[in-house]
Amino acid sequence: MTGNTDQTVLVVGAGIVGTSTAYTLQKAGYRVTLIDRIGPCAGSSYGNAGAIVDSCVPNALPGILKSVPSMLLDPTGPLTIRWSYLHKITPWLLRFVQETRAERVEHNAKYLGALTSSASSDWQVMMENTGLQHLIRDEGWLKVYDSEEGFQETHAMRDLMLRHGSPFEVLGIGDLRDLEPNLSHIFKHGIYHNKSRFLLNPEKVVHGIADAFKQEGGDIVISDIHTLRAEENAVTAIGSHGNVSADKLVLCTGAWSKKLARQLGADIPLDTERGYHLMMPAVEEKGIGRPIVYGEKSFVLAPMERGIRLTSQVEFAGLERGPDFRRVRKLLPYAQKMLPSLKTDEQDVWLGYRPSLPDSLPIIGPSPESNRVIFAFGHQHLGMTLGPTTARLVKEMLNDEMGSREMWPYRANRF
Ligand SMILES: Cc1cc2nc3c(=O)[nH]c(=O)nc-3n(C[C@H](O)[C@H](O)[C@H](O)COP(=O)(O)OP(=O)(O)OC[C@H]3O[C@@H](n4cnc5c(N)ncnc54)[C@H](O)[C@@H]3O)c2cc1C
């Protein structure tokens, strides 16, 4: 406790970032109200692959542009753009291209790695405090490649990880068989993130943190917030359930943050990299021991409490257009090829909205208009990884433990 019991805080958005933040601030002595338009874990945090990845690799890498045409032409490739959304995503894509320059890649890797390298220990604290340790595993995160060419294309990524201290091992056929004996023998190479962890049930984890927050005295309010107002002495969130005011507000609405942030003086190039999941029954014997990425296809098979989850690649189509579940269903033959014992009966399918900025770094910092508001969103493919780390940084900011933030790499006005 740091003696902040007189300060009230609103946390808007109850995904992994918002629930972790609400819980962490409450534990530090703030009086916290967590607000969501639906309830805890209604957004992207519900259906992801659950990996907590210690990796500095940003999404914009040198040479990626060369691969885009073939990615778009392949109906099972890692990237789709709905053509009706092309004009909307073009400015974001142009910024993304700028981030592939060598000096930008180094910058982004340095500051992404600075966050992901603390994720495991921040999760440890969160799981111990909330009694959820039984839902986390330490078996790492594995990428496998069936072609020499596919593996060679990872050269720049491996170099980057070596330079920035992200831990990994390169595995050959024999190592792969030892580590994942039930995986198809077509895979010749692996990259094993041996210090990474994974969650057996991301939804249960977010609900568990929200329950712990409530049990320790926190309030959860259901309200669809449409207006944020920062005044000299208070900040107010106005929504479907009226007005709520507090001393401080943390905005954690993931992919839906752009409009609310604009009301507080920030024009942030946030868009969504949509992704799907498809749940299949558990494979009792002959299963897999950790989430595994099929490198050439960029999809994941993740062992979860209630079955095997296939999570798909990236679709640019914004927040309004409906799902196209054919995208994820088309991957089933490759999933079967990857894990021959897989039973591909579909249990459920889901569409999620990764909140992404062109430089792959989240926004964690005050709004340009008011120090009473902290933004905490834009965690792209790594939001599950970075929830507790973001919560700790927000707490340090509110406690004034961080010194100058002028050149803070996660600031809102960096674009
Ligand atoms: C297919 C897929 C696989 C993924 N796999 C991984 C993985 O393995 N590891 C990893 O680290 N990350 C992964 N991710 C990314 C991760 O899921 C996201 O980055 C993360 O969930 C974002 O969390 P968040 O709390 O910022 O947002 P969300 O979980 O989306 O939460 C935002 C919340 O804000 C609420 N909200 C929105 N607007 C309003 C409003 N106006 N008023 C009130 N409430 C509002 C929503 O209801 C929602 O509950 C994956 C994502 C996808 C789609």
Total domains, the chain: 1
Averaged over 358-381, what is the pLDDT?
Answer: 96
Instruction: Give a yes or no: residue 35 inside a domain.
Output: yes
Tokens coding 283: 């494979």
Q: How confident is the model at residue 76 (pLDDT cuts 50, 70, 90)?
A: confident
- What range defines the domain where residue 11 resides? 1-62+102-135+197-269+358-415
Give the model's pLDDT for residue 23: 98
Residue 238: name the closest of 225, 256, 247 by CA. 225
Q: Does the C-beta of 35 come closer than 6 Å to ligand 1?
A: yes
Q: Which of 44, 206, 241, 308 to mutate to test the pocket of ligand 1 (most atoms within 8 A of CB)?
A: 44
Cβ count near 160 (within 10 Å): 22
Q: Give the C-alpha separation, 339 to 353, whole Å.
A: 27
Residue 180: name the closest of 304, 302, 61, 314 by CA. 302
Q: How confident is the model at residue 92 (pLDDT cuts 50, 70, 90)?
A: very high
Q: 0.85 cut: is pTM over it? A: yes
Instruction: Give a yes or no: residue 249 inside a domain.
Output: yes
Contact of 251 with 375, CB cutoff 8 Å: yes
pLDDT digits (tens, 9 = 90+) for 155-189: 999 999 999 999 999 999 999 999 999 999 999 99
Q: Does the C-beta of 207 come closer than 6 Å to ligand 1?
A: no
Give the model's pLDDT for residue 1: 45
Q: How far is the CA of 228 from the centre of ligand 1 (A)?
A: 20
Query: 317-320 long-range CB contacts below 8 Å, 24 or more apart?
Result: 317/80, 317/81, 317/82, 317/84, 317/85, 317/274, 318/82, 318/85, 318/88, 318/89, 318/271, 318/272, 319/255, 319/256, 319/272, 319/353
Q: How far is the CA of 216 from the centre of ligand 1 (A)?
A: 24
Q: How confident is the model at residue 56 (pLDDT cuts 50, 70, 90)?
A: very high
Q: How confident is the model at residue 93 (pLDDT cuts 50, 70, 90)?
A: very high
Instruction: Give a yes or no: residue 73 inside a domain.
Output: no
pLDDT digits (tens, 9 = 90+) for 306-318: 999 999 989 999 9
Is 230 in a helix, a strand, or coil? strand
Q: Give the C-alpha separation, 140 to 136, whole Å.
A: 11
Contact of 12 with 260, CB cutoff 8 Å: yes
Note the residue count of the chain: 415
pLDDT digits (tens, 9 = 90+) for 213-240: 999 999 999 999 999 999 999 999 999 9
- Is the model's pLDDT at 2 over the cut of 50? no
Q: How far is the CA of 167 from the centre of ligand 1 (A)?
A: 26
Tokens coding 202: 């991301």
Instruction: Give a yes or no: residue 299 inside a domain.
Output: no
> Which residue has the CA at smallest separation from atom 27 of ligand 1?
254
Instruction: Give a yes or no: residue 56 inside a domain.
Output: yes
* Contacts of 174 by beta carbon, 8 Å cutoff, 6+ apart: none
Q: Give the C-alpha separation, 341 to 179, whole Å.
A: 16
- Is the model's pLDDT at 5 over the cut of 80? no
Q: Does the C-beta of 197 come closer than 6 Å to ligand 1?
A: no
- Is the model's pLDDT at 208 over the cut of 50? yes
Instruction: Give a yes or no: residue 310 inside a domain.
Output: no
Q: How far is the CA of 254 from the centre of ligand 1 (A)?
A: 5
Tokens 């990474």 correspond to 196
Residue 119: name the closest of 313, 378, 354, 393 by CA. 393
Contact of 280 with 310, CB cutoff 8 Å: yes
Give the model's pLDDT for residue 405: 66
> Which residue has the CA at smallest separation from atom 16 of ligand 1?
383
Q: How far is the CA of 387 from the centre of ligand 1 (A)?
A: 10
> Which residue has the CA at smallest separation from atom 31 of ligand 1?
15
- Is the model's pLDDT at 4 over the cut of 80? no
pLDDT digits (tens, 9 = 90+) for 235-262: 999 999 999 999 999 999 999 999 999 9
pLDDT digits (tens, 9 = 90+) for 388-401: 999 999 999 999 88
> Which residue has the CA at smallest separation from atom 20 of ligand 1?
383
Task: DSSP for 340-371, please give it.
Answer: TT------EEEEEEEEE-TTSPPEEEE-SS-T
Least confident of 15-24, 61-70, 197-206: 61-70
Instruction: Give a yes or no: residue 244 inside a domain.
Output: yes
Q: Give the C-alpha separation, 359 to 16, whole Å.
A: 21
Q: Does the C-beta of 123 come closer than 6 Å to ligand 1?
A: no
Cα distances (angstroms) measured from residue 136 to each of 123, 231, 296: 9, 41, 27
> Which residue has the CA at smallest separation from atom 37 of ligand 1?
253
> CATH number, domain at 241?
3.50.50.60
Alpha-carbon 88 to chain mean position: 22
Residue type, 138: D
Instruction: Give a yes or no: residue 316 inside a domain.
Output: no
Q: Does the C-beta of 327 come closer than 6 Å to ligand 1?
A: no
